[in-house]
Structure 1
């Protein structure tokens, strides 16, 4: 009887041992494989694919992505063209105003030309001459030369200012209009040039200040 009970106990404990082996948690190697993105059965890792997947399911290679990034946007080219045109127009407006100021109040070029005419007049009248001749040679020619040089600067101011103002009408239409400050500065140069030109003409022909008479 004892032998029969012992064999029965052994056979009853055998399935329990097999159930315990089935319920044992996964080993550390299997857990590490799952954490790294692999499957616990094979231990293989799921590496990144060599191609990028689009939203519609198709695949796009790295070369196609680089080509699309290198392609230039036409809108960016238009912005660059507008910026370059704006810089040129702004510079022209400032130059027009500066030329208008020189044409109105004079500059060192007009002073040098005036002093040269004065020196020539002194040389011509050094051997003698009438008072009217000395006034005309020494002072009259000097004043007229100053008026002529100032008039040239005034004309240049007018030409540059008018060019800046009318250029958008003859150029390519742009989505970005010309800034208002450029038009204002260019208009100021045109006004200064016109005033300087009128004064230069009046001084050259002795309409405002005439030469003294003897």
Structure 2
């Protein structure tokens, strides 16, 4: 059994512990020694970030084989259409290739903290909220996906990573949780002392 730290990253905080430009970092909020981010969340995004003090846990959480689904609450510019949602569900083509199909649905505005500073909203222009679930981690992927279907992202909150959720964490707060990693057993032929041919290294998706 291993420990992880669930952190609600505020808006405009870096997902790292140091910065040469004087911006807020994890060091302004995390006091437990030895923890580091397992993954990242953009500077201008908010919500759940997982930290760990074990390299094996970090590797497991980042391993694309496990495809941990990430849930985002996204406020977009405009009243999103069913056609745009259908395109997100099918997968959209970005500059770095097509995305996997996403789970996308309209949602009511979530009961969460106000953003500071608030979003820049045009007068007489509606906004809407969607819940988007993806199992990829490309750079600024959610923002690029909503822009590709004609509805730019105004606010982005990550609500869950796999089984872990924000629950009642306020921005800047964290809590310890537990993670159970499956035990890897040797193949039966190895247990009987047979030599196995060397395995080719697997390409890591990014």
TM tier relative to shorter chain: under 0.3
Instruction: Give the TM-score normalised by structure 2.
Output: 0.18
Higher strand share: 2
Instruction: Tell which has more relative contact order, 1 or 2 (C-alpha 8 A, sep 6+).
Output: 2
Higher helix share: 1
Instruction: Give the TM-score normalised by structure 1.
Output: 0.17
